[in-house]
Amino acid sequence: MSAIQAAWPSGTECIAKYNFHGTAEQDLPFCKGDVLTIVAVTKDPNWYKAKNKVGREGIIPANYVQKREGVKAGTKLSLMPWFHGKITREQAERLLYPPETGLFLVRESTNYPGDYTLCVSCEGKVEHYRIMYHASKLSIDEEVYFENLMQLVEHYTTDADGLCTRLIKPKVMEGTVAAQDEFYRSGWALNMKELKLLQTIGKGEFGDVMLGDYRGNKVAVKCIKNDATAQAFLAEASVMTQLRHSNLVQLLGVIVEEKGGLYIVTEYMAKGSLVDYLRSRGRSVLGGDCLLKFSLDVCEAMEYLEGNNFVHRDLAARNVLVSEDNVAKVSDFGLTKEASSTQDTGKLPVKWTAPEALREKKFSTKSDVWSFGILLWEIYSFGRVPYPRIPLKDVVPRVEKGYKMDAPDGCPPAVYEVMKNCWHLDAATRPTFLQLREQLEHIRTHELHL
């Protein structure tokens, strides 16, 4: 025990596994599920000095808490680890060998495209049940209907209901990890019973963003219902477990419901997206110091991502949120990936994406720098859409010939220089985020922003 504990440095976040009431005056009581930060190791390796969310410090028992870890990069999380996609009947039977009653998997039906097959091992042989997809619902017996595969599997796990046996043990697809298990293991699983959903504050193609209450604190909750969409959002949640910075929207935890719902719980940003904030306040309210502060907030978050080898890929004022006390924080990590990977460019926002990323799918910190230049232009134009009066189809050809947008009205020349540096066609000549932050701080120190 003590050997492991010695490795927890000051600043480590951990989550309480049990309630601790404390007996001595110096103890810090906490409840199961509380997040605590280690302040220091004590002489006794079984106890830590820690602080809670409101900053109160005290002594805690090491074996009552679990270190919060980032989900390891490259971990293939699945909401349906028992789903094996397009495999044949014979392949399914081989996977369910040696026979074990209740061992099961789901595959795509080979005979009925669009349907699925539930394959269950029972008393030495494998039964194959056709899952019919009809009127957006799934059913095996045309008596009970389900919204998605997860609901169906959950139902037959608790009750055989006409099958040869109830579903006992999933045959996990090789290379995947059950999402719920991984979030629980790494200390990010929250309890649905402690979350109250209050009102809708945003709608996306994926589902709603709601204002919630988690243990008495306001939170924002992405509620993702559809299993295919939820699967895509797992990647965003797992990236967020690895990132910690005061200018990044902070993940608080994840709830994976048995019946297929996914809830991503983050800190609540009371003033909404930066683009809406700029448009609704405008020039009369927001001075040059405020615009520069937002620019620096975003730049510091991006410098942190750069230092940790993450590429955001979708940096824009719509994906920056503003807190109650006017701090800008980068959000929407749906496209954020380790720097090496490529992606499909079908859905990319053309006006914000660097030419080499659109042309050759080359994403890097340098393509994020290009997007940061566009975001600066959005900040200083108070939320205008970039490339005004240029038809969308003409933007890329003009940009590739070297066209750069003019400075927004009233934009300080020093800030416009920074924008133009971000828009070098040759990615290698663009500055790093570290250099950009230094330039913006120089502008602030010498009051070149007013």
Positions marked active-site: 314
Q: How would DSSP label each residue in 8-23?
A: --TT-EEEESS-B--S
Distance CA 447, CA 380 (A): 16
In terms of Cα–Cα distance, which of 202, 239, 242, 238 is closest to 223?
A: 202
DSSP label at residue 248: B
Distance CA 190, CA 16 (A): 11
In terms of Cα–Cα distance, which of 312, 241, 221 is closest to 73?
A: 241
Q: Which amino acid is at 424?
A: H
Distance CA 45, CA 41 (A): 7
In terms of Cα–Cα distance, which of 8, 18, 11 is closest to 65?
A: 18
* Surface-to-core class of residue 45, CB atoms within 10 Å of its CB (0-12 exposed, 13-18 middle, 19+ buried): middle
C-alpha dihedral, 121 to 126 to 132 to 136, nearest 10°: 30
Cα 422 to Cα 101, 120, 278, 367, 408, distances in angstroms: 61, 57, 22, 9, 16
DSSP label at residue 273: B
H/E stretch holding 359 reads helix 355-360
3-class state of residue 211 by DSSP: strand
Distance CA 27, CA 376 (A): 48
3-class state of residue 406 by DSSP: coil
In terms of Cα–Cα distance, which of 202, 320, 341 is closest to 264?
A: 202
Distance CA 379, CA 322 (A): 13
Beta bridge pairs of residue 130: 117
Cβ atoms within 10 Å, residue 19: 12
Which segments are annotated as binding site for ATP?
A: 222
Distance CA 119, CA 129 (A): 6
Which segments are annotated as binding site?
A: 222
Beta bridge pairs of residue 192: none
